[in-house]
Amino acid sequence: MQLSETAYAKINLALHVRRRREDGYHELESLFAFVDGGDRLTARSAAQDELRVFGEFAPQLTDPFGNIILRALGVLPHADGLAIQLEKNLPVAAGLGGGSADAGAVFRMVREAYGLPDDWRERAARLGADVPACVDSVTCIGRGTGTELEVVESDLAGRSVLLVNPRLPLTTGPVFAAWDGTDRGGLPEGPCSRIAQEGRNDLEAAAIGLCPPIADVLAALRATEADLVRMSGSGATCFALYRSHDVMQAAAQRLAAEQPGWWRMEGRLR
């Protein structure tokens, strides 16, 4: 048996933080979207579950035994062991849900080979708030901690997108801890394009306070012919949407010349 999946990069077209909960989590409203590229996973039958990681950002995964891929296999029934190879193309702690996307890809591979249990959503949520959205990797609105999902039809599918990260990891916990606690209201009503344009990322100021180069990335993207520029998740990755692939590629080439040290990924929204 040979299985392969792309762990699609997740971006938050809008991320509204409503309140801190008594359990320590935050009440959110977010419009999730997915880019047509990301990490790559392949799997084959084996005597026991195994994981091998390679790729540009493999060295950032310092705890292979605690990797979310093995944890995902641990919560899912599968008749045989699976030996998984992960090509780590997405930066770690980058606001792209990279680990969650990897777990989502594992759920899809297990679904293809063995089927998923009826309570797979609950099992996914135990791994992380973004994991349920990453299983199907389709545009959706997340509420609660991000696990209460409403799939929506997207009028942004196919739009060209450029992802940029200053190659600085930024863990989620400190960013949420630095949020100013102000509820600025829920997501706008209407199609995804309107939600994205009129929405915001309530973690942006906190993330910039912890990682000032995010502001430089945002400014550089806004200097291109982008239709929308925003930070994704808790940072430090930012994204820009463009009216055409040619305009996006021109922006990517400009940033490559101006900031050769920054990580970039070109793609389209799924």
Catalytic residue annotation: 10, 130
Q: What is the radius of gyration, based on Cα positions, of the chain?
A: 18
Residue closest to 2 by CA, chosen among 48, 41, 39? 41
Contact present, 197 and 169 (Cβ < 8 Å): no
Q: Residues 201, 14: contact at Cβ < 8 Å? A: yes
Contact 165, 263 (CB under 8 A): yes
Neighbours of 102 (CB within 10 A): 28
Q: Chain-centre distance of CA 234, in angstroms?
A: 10
